[in-house]
Amino acid sequence: MITLRKSADRGHADHGWLDSYHSFSFADYHDPRHMGVGNLRVINEDRIAPGTGFGTHGHRDMEIVSYVLSGELAHQDSMGNGAPGGAHAGVIRPGDVQRMSAGRGVRHSEFNHSQEQPTHFLQIWILPRTTGIDPGYEQKHFDADARRGRLALIASPDGRDGSVTIHADASIRAGLFDGDESAELPIAPGRLAYVHVARGSVQANGQRLDAGDALTLADERALRLRAGRDAEVLVFDLAP
């Protein structure tokens, strides 16, 4: 079964400094038909105005992945990341994938320090396998060549193929597709695949998807992507 969700059907909140589209119920947007897909709970497409950002706030028991499309996002947290002398610089840019495991509790902030350019990124939340773990942070870069014409693994439960490690029964792949570039990904029996088009357009199993559109595949044997036009695509392998 293939289910299409159009970009225009998402929730939307414009706070001035933050323009956000919600693929699933989030904050003041609530739709009981769209509470998530499998263990994928949040995909927010956020645009943060120059010189603004999210002040320090807390999370717990969630795997949070950030994927920057343009601009930069500065991260600081209670683990010391983003602070002088911290383990990580905390600034993420296009091609970077950031994973924060909230575990038993973490506080962090995210800020766009540019005075000219907005930051455009995807904020992704996935339910963890186990609650109450130690909070953690990881950040890796995947250049355009690694994602060009293929679905590169960027997050997985075991960190294989250089992906970031998420403590969840899920994986994320990212690809760039244009012209004749195509990819096919098998879907294991009993698993869900969720396709989110971050920008551009692409054909997925015969369905034309534009930026912000999404496709859920259940009881399908494979995902087939083709005929992209400057497309940037994220594909999730999920527990039902």
DSSP state of 240: -
Q: Average pLDDT for residues 50-78, to the nearest whole number?
A: 96
Does the pTM surpass 0.85? The reply is: yes
For residues 109 and 75, is the Cβ–Cβ distance under 8 A? yes
Q: Average pLDDT for residues 43-59, to the nearest whole number?
A: 97
Q: Is the predicted pLDDT of residue 76 greater than 70, yes or no?
A: yes
Q: Is the predicted pLDDT of residue 87 greater than 80, yes or no?
A: no
Who's near 117: CB < 8 A, 6+ residues apart? 50, 70, 71
Q: Could you report the per-residue pLDDT of 200-230, keeping only the tens digit for each?
A: 999 999 999 999 999 999 999 999 999 999 9
Q: Residue 86: what pLDDT?
A: 64
For residues 146 and 90, is the Cβ–Cβ distance under 8 A? no
What confidence category does residue 83 fall into, taking pLDDT thresholds of 50, 70 and 90?
confident
C-alpha to C-alpha distance for 169 and 38, rounded to whole angstroms: 10
Q: Which of 33-42, 80-89, 157-166, 178-187 has the lowest mean pLDDT?
A: 80-89
Q: Residue 84: what pLDDT?
A: 73
Among the listed residues 121, 130, 103, the one whose alpha carbon sits nearest the alpha carbon of residue 48: 121
Tokens 């695949």 identify what position?
A: 193
Domains identified in the chain, total number = 1
What confidence category does residue 85 fall into, taking pLDDT thresholds of 50, 70 and 90?
low
Residue 153 CB neighbours (<10 A): 20
3-state secondary structure labels for all residues of 47-115: EECCCCEEEEEEECCCEEEEEEEECCEEEEECCCCCCCCCCCCCEECCCEEEEEECCCCEEEEEECCCC
Q: Is the predicted pLDDT of residue 118 greater than 80, yes or no?
A: yes
Q: Which of 78-87, 93-102, 113-122 has the lowest mean pLDDT?
A: 78-87
Q: Average pLDDT for residues 105-121, to the nearest whole number?
A: 96
Q: Average pLDDT for residues 20-48, to the nearest whole number?
A: 97
Range of the domain at 190: 2-238
Identify the CATH number of the domain in which residue 157 sits.
Answer: 2.60.120.10
